[in-house]
């Protein structure tokens, strides 16, 4: 079985420099309990995001099969800080088929609350095996719990296609509360 590691990019949630909200403790927990390695980068600008997005596509990071994007969002977009927007289309064009077989998880409010063609188009253009994310605004704690469960379960399967059914069977209330969807 191929080892799955996590490649995480996280935006700034608040303008205050003393804000400590982060998904980093989740990654540390997954490393300690599930032996999931990770790469984590905090990004504040579009340029930083695009720089690390390119890095995620390099062959040397092919074992980082879960792309975990933790940002603020709205329908069809994520943003870094100061409302620097990136669309699903822009991300897909940048990746351009180089995420073949990977799962992409948008841990951001509303990002996948988009038209019916956007998610399949993103998946096709990136060559991702699975795309997941939230279609509504979510509570930070609920989102963190869902992200933790999603990462844990996705690490157990060679094929990401088994993940949605398992989550629907074992965590229906959390899926309903968070509005997590798959494409």
> What is the C-alpha to C-alpha distance for residues 105 and 148, in angstroms, rounded to an integer?
11
Give the total number of structural domains in the chain. 1
Residue 130 pairs in a beta bridge with 103
CATH code of the domain containing 142: 3.40.50.1460
Would you say residue 98 lies in a domain? yes
Rounded to a whole number of angstroms, the distance between the first and last alpha carbons of the chain is 24
| Per-residue pLDDT at 1 | 46
**Pair of tokens at residue 1:** 């079985």
Question: What is the β-pairing status of strands 130-134 and 180-182?
Answer: antiparallel
Domain assignment present for 1: no
Q: Could you read off the pLDDT tens digit of each residue along the chain, which spans 183 residues?
A: 456 799 999 998 777 777 778 999 999 999 999 999 999 999 999 999 999 999 999 999 999 999 999 999 999 999 988 778 999 999 999 999 999 999 999 999 999 999 989 999 999 999 999 999 999 999 989 999 999 999 999 999 888 999 999 999 999 999 999 999 999
Q: Is there a domain that residue 150 lies in? A: yes
Instruction: Give the rounded distance of the alpha carbon of 147 from its chain centre.
Output: 8
Instruction: Give the range of the structural domain holding residue 81, as residue numbers without chain letter.
Output: 6-182
pLDDT for 2 equals 53
């Amino acid at each position: 079985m191929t080892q799955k590691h996590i490649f995480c990019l996280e935006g700034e949630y608040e303008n205050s420099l003393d804000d400590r909200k982060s998904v980093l403790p989740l990654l540390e927990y997954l490393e300690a309990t599930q032996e999931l390695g990770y790469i984590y980068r905090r990004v504040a600008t579009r340029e930083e995001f695009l720089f690390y997005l390119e890095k995620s596509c390099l062959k040397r990071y092919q074992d980082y099969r879960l792309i975990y994007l933790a940002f603020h969002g709205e329908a069809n977009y994520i943003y870094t800080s100061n409302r620097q927007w990136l669309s699903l289309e822009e991300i897909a064009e940048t990746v351009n088929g180089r995420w073949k077989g990977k799962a992409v998880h948008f841990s951001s409010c509303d990002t996948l609350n988009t038209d019916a063609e956007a998610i399949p188009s993103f998946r096709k253009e990136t060559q991702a095996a699975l795309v997941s994310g939230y279609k509504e605004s979510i509570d930070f704690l609920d989102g963190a719990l869902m992200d933790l469960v999603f990462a844990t379960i996705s690490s157990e399967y060679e094929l990401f296609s088994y993940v949605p059914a398992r989550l629907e069977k074992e965590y229906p209330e959390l899926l309903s509360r968070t509005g997590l969807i798959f494409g």
